[in-house]
Amino acid sequence: MLATLWTRIEKAERRFRRSFGRDIATPIGRALAWVHYHVFDHAFLRTFWTNFYEVAPEVYRSNQPTRFRFARMAAKRGIRTVINLRGEDKYSYYLFEKEACEAYGLELVDAKLMARKAASRDRITDVIDALRAAERPLVFHCKSGADRTGFVGALYLLIFENAPISVARRQLGLKYLHSRHTATGVQDYIIDVFEARQALGEIGFEQWIRTEYAAKRLQAAFDARTPVAEAARSLAEGADPVRVPVPAAQSAQSPE
């Protein structure tokens, strides 16, 4: 009963949240979008809490910046490129970000990842390509700067800085308010599976992503708590990394 009630409340809240916040061109629309931005996207928190850190020289990570913070990053850090890991959208947070980037001469690149799901190979390679092509200094961000941003921080260090996996993994940590013990732990699992893959032969992270990584199968392995060594081996072989349990009656039968 309570679960049903809570589900209905969540659906109602979602419908309300999506009912406005898509217009910043008119005075009324802009005022409503401002409320949407601060209340539903929690921008008021990000005015003071930035989750802003240097990943490598001229490469920074952050939560979703406000307009004031975009101006400050451009002035103090010389930021030229903003990589938005939330992707293009029609709601307030994206509209205000796009407006701010245009106002301060920043190139905005949209490359959508998911916090609680393993991103597709194409989406990850889009991020890699965006990082490679971006004018420095650059900053990449998601909403809170914890999960998607942490994964891309690790990715950047592995591919562009040739950092050890142990160093890259630090980008996914409590320091940034990331937890591996929830659904967002799939980001850690990707790195863990890549590390386990090294036991089968050395391979670079970008090559592994482009040739062996399979998002749906890796996600299924994470959900099934498949050991990382087994998942790595199965992905390398192109097999399904999730063990399919054999029914007890079938396993008890003698082979013919």
Domain housing 37: 28-179
What is the pLDDT at residue 84? 99
Report the pLDDT averaged over residues 196-214: 96
CA distances from 116 to 157, 185, 200 (A): 21, 8, 28
* pLDDT (0 to 100) of residue 136: 98
The answer to the question of residue 18 being in a domain is no
Band of pLDDT at residue 3, cut at 50, 70 and 90: low
Residue 202 falls inside a structural domain? no
pTM of the predicted structure, to 2 decimals: 0.86
d(CA 178, CA 186): 11
- Does the residue 68 lie in any domain? yes
pLDDT-derived band at 250 (thresholds 50, 70, 90) equals very low
Residue 90 lies in a domain: yes
- Residue 55, domain member (yes or no): yes
Q: How far from chain centre, in Å, is Cα 232?
A: 21
Q: Distance between CA 51 and CA 48 in Å, rounded?
A: 9
Token digits for 209?
Answer: 């992503």
Position 10 in a domain: no
Is residue 198 one of the residues assigned to a domain?
Answer: no
Structural domain count of the chain = 1
Cis check: omega of the bond before 227, within 30 degrees of 0: no
In the 8-state DSSP scheme, what is residue 203?
-
Evaluate whether residue 21 is within a structural domain: no
CATH of the domain at 52: 3.90.190.10
CB 49 within 8 A of CB 63: yes
Residue pLDDT, tens place only, 35-54: 888 888 887 889 889 999 99
